[in-house]
Amino acid sequence: MAGIPNVTYTPRPLALAGIAVCGVLACALLGGTTNVVNGWVSPEYFVTILRWDPNSDVWRAAIAQGIFEGLMFGIFFSLVFTVATGLITRGSCSFGFAFKHLLGILVGAYLCWTFGGLVAVGLATLSPQFYRQTFIGVPQDFNAMLRYAWVGGSIWGAEFGGVFSIVVGVVVLRANWQRGVEKGKV
């Protein structure tokens, strides 16, 4: 076909393996760091939802829980991203190319974490009665309710936002890969 350069694809299975590992670790980082904030903002959320002992070190346990859940989600998310990257690039992208896109996905997940928390706080502020009736164990104190809403909303934001970020990240990766192929830079 005219205009499309003849590209030789050199398989780079170690680059894909490295991305798979980094994807899992990125999710663990996301879970741990977001729960540094969440465990500090509302330990009551974790005590209520996970039925933890309120006299325990809830903040540290929340961080550990975030890392653990990040690892579990990370296995799935990393598999999806790595397989998509391998298929799009025919297994020949560099580690740096894929890692740059993985970082973009991670930033997107952090933004979705923030957005989810803000939406939940906004909902709880707009209609405290609705919020208390809709969600489990919401505190009666208004400020405690807002902190609780932040944590619940931010967790949902990170989880659903992670899926959204992977989809957007893979679309961007594909576009960048095609652009590189057309310019003969891959």
Q: Read off the pLDDT of residues 74-120 as tens digits, 9 standing for 90 and up.
A: 999 999 999 999 999 999 999 999 999 999 999 999 999 999 999 99
53 to 48, 58, 63, 153: CA distances (angstroms) = 9, 8, 15, 22
Mean pLDDT to the nearest integer, 42-69: 97
Q: Read off the pLDDT of residues 134-159 as tens digits, 9 standing for 90 and up.
A: 999 999 999 999 999 999 999 999 99
Give the 3-state secondary structure of residue 153.
helix
Number of C-beta neighbours around residue 53 at 10 A: 9
pLDDT at res. 185: 73
pLDDT at res. 95: 97
- The answer to whether the beta carbons of residues 65 and 50 sit under 8 Å apart is yes
pLDDT at res. 167: 97
Question: Does 186 have pLDDT greater than 80?
Answer: no
Q: What are the structure tokens assigned to 25, written together?
A: 């670790």
pLDDT at res. 1: 46
DSSP state of 91: T
- The answer to whether the beta carbons of residues 120 and 96 sit under 8 Å apart is no
